[in-house]
Amino acid sequence: MSYLANRDESLLVYVDGLQNAHAMETQAIELLSRQVERLEHYPDMEARMRQHIAESEAQRARLEDVLRSHSEGAKSGTSTIKDAILGLGGNIAAAIHAPATDEVLKNTLANFAFEHFEIAAYKTLITMADALGDPHGKAAAEACLAEEEAMAEWIDQHIAQTTLIFLNRTDAGIVASH
């Protein structure tokens, strides 16, 4: 049973979703890049975030490849405007937490939520790709999903450690924020 009453409209929605995911990865790269600059007292987190920046860059490239495969569509290609706005949003989000005394904790919570947002976005793209018969797009979204789930799991497993490092630095009278 097909759920697609109008395949052309569904394809436009799918391509828009791919563009949104591309912009989302641009935002993630900007956000994480600003955060790693301030993690000198959290080396495990800094290393994992640097790894995830590289993963996000690869995800963005995968999405570009899928978008190129839909170049016959009216809205194909990446959206420079979406990329710019969400990239700026990533920088602003990082800047908002920077002056907070608990910056690392706020960033950890925000990153955990953002990873789950990305997970939901990739699950949606997988469903769309499957419904539209795009195995290349589905495989790309599944690869991205696996990386996002791994990052979310890493954050989940390190929330307590990050919190304890923060508290120990605070108790010692050391700048604990980053």
Domain containing 129 — which CATH number?
A: 1.20.1260.10
Asked if 29 and 89 touch (Cβ cutoff 8 Å), the reply is: no
In a domain? residue 144 = yes
- 3-state DSSP assignment of residue 14: helix
Number of domains composing the chain: 1
In a domain? residue 137 = yes
In a domain? residue 74 = yes
Q: How far apart are CA 96 and CA 43, in angstroms?
A: 22
Q: What is the pLDDT of residue 106?
A: 92
Q: What is the pLDDT of residue 87?
A: 44
Q: What is the mean pLDDT of residues 4-32?
A: 89
In a domain? residue 176 = no
Q: How far apart are CA 38 and CA 152, in angstroms?
A: 20
Q: What is the mean pLDDT of the chain?
A: 85
In 37-79, alpha helices (H): 43-69
- Quote the domain boundaries for residue 117: 7-171
In 37-134, alpha helices (H): 43-69, 80-97, 103-132
Could you tell me which of 149, 148, 130 has the C-alpha nearest to residue 60? 148
In a domain? residue 1 = no
pLDDT tens-digit readout, 21-60: 999 999 999 999 999 988 988 999 999 999 999 999 999 9
In a domain? residue 155 = yes
Q: What is the pLDDT of residue 175?
A: 65
Six token digits for residue 58: 């690869």
In a domain? residue 178 = no
Q: What are phi and psi of 70, to 5 degrees?
A: -110, 30
